Structure 1
Amino acid sequence: MAKLVAIHPQNPQQRLIQQVVDVLQSGGVIAYPTDSGYALGTALGNKNGLERIRQIRSLSKRHDFTLMMRDLAHIGEYAKLDNNAFRLLKKILPGAYTFILEAARNVPKRLLHEKKKTIGVRISAHGVVQALLTTLDEPLMSVSLILTGHEFYEIDDVRGALDNQVDLIIDDGYCPPEPTTVIDLSSGNAQIIRRGAGDTSLLE
Structure 2
Amino acid sequence: MAELLKLYEENPSEKVLLKIARVLKNGGLIIYPTDTVYGLGCDIKNNNALSKIAKIRGVKLEKANFSFICEDLSNLSEYVAQIDSNTFKLLKRNLPGPYTFILPGNNNLPSVFKKKKTVGIRVPDNVIPREIVRYLGNPIVSTSIKDEDDLLEYTTDPELIAEKWDKLVDLVIDGGFGGNVASTVIDLTAPQPTLIREGKGNIEI
With normalisation by structure 2, the TM-score equals 0.92
Kept in 2, the 8 Å contact 1:65–1:141? The answer is: yes
Aligned length: 200
Give the whole-Å Cα distance in 2 for the aligned partners of 1:170 and 1:148. Answer: 21
Kept in 2, the 8 Å contact 1:64–1:111? The answer is: no
Q: CA offsets, 1:74-132, max 9 Å, x none?
A: 112211222111010011110000000110111124236x5x51111000111111211
Secondary structure of the structure 2 residue equivalent to 1:41 = strand
User: Who is 1:163 aligned against?
Assistant: 166
Kept in 2, the 8 Å contact 1:3–1:168? The answer is: yes
User: Who is 1:67 aligned against?
Assistant: 68
User: Who is 1:77 aligned against?
Assistant: 78
Kept in 2, the 8 Å contact 1:40–1:143? The answer is: yes
Larger deviation: 17-26 or 72-81?
A: 72-81
Sequence identity (%): 34
Give the whole-Å Cα distance in 1 for the aligned partners of 2:2 and 2:93. Answer: 38
Instruction: Provide structure 2 residue ranges, at least 5 long, that are not aligned to the other structure.
Output: none
Kept in 2, the 8 Å contact 1:124–1:130? The answer is: yes
Give the whole-Å Cα distance in 2 for the aligned partners of 1:21 and 1:96. Answer: 23
Kept in 2, the 8 Å contact 1:111–1:119? The answer is: no
Residue number among 82, 95, 98 corresponding to 1:96 in the alignment? 98
What does 1:132-147 correspond to in 2, within 5 Å?
A: 132-147=132-147
Amino acid aligned to 1:197: K
Amino acid aligned to 1:189: Q
Secondary structure of the structure 2 residue equivalent to 1:37 = coil
User: Who is 1:2 aligned against?
Assistant: 2
Q: Give the Å deviation of 1:47.
A: 1.1
Q: Give the Å deviation of 1:28.
A: 0.6
Instruction: Provide structure 1 residue ranges, at least 5 long, that are not aligned to the other structure.
Output: none
Kept in 2, the 8 Å contact 1:2–1:165? The answer is: yes
Secondary structure of the structure 1 residue equivalent to 2:5 = strand
Larger deviation: 64-73 or 140-149?
A: 140-149
What does 1:185-196 correspond to in 2, within 5 Å?
A: 185-196=188-199
Larger deviation: 54-63 or 158-167?
A: 54-63
With normalisation by structure 1, the TM-score equals 0.92
Larger deviation: 61-70 or 119-128?
A: 61-70
Q: CA RMSD in A?
A: 1.5
User: Who is 2:34 aligned against?
Assistant: 34
Amino acid aligned to 1:72: L
Kept in 1, the 8 Å contact 2:147–2:155? The answer is: no
Q: Give the Å deviation of 1:177.
A: 2.2
Give the whole-Å Cα distance in 1 for the aligned partners of 2:112 and 2:66. Answer: 9
User: Who is 1:51 aligned against?
Assistant: 51
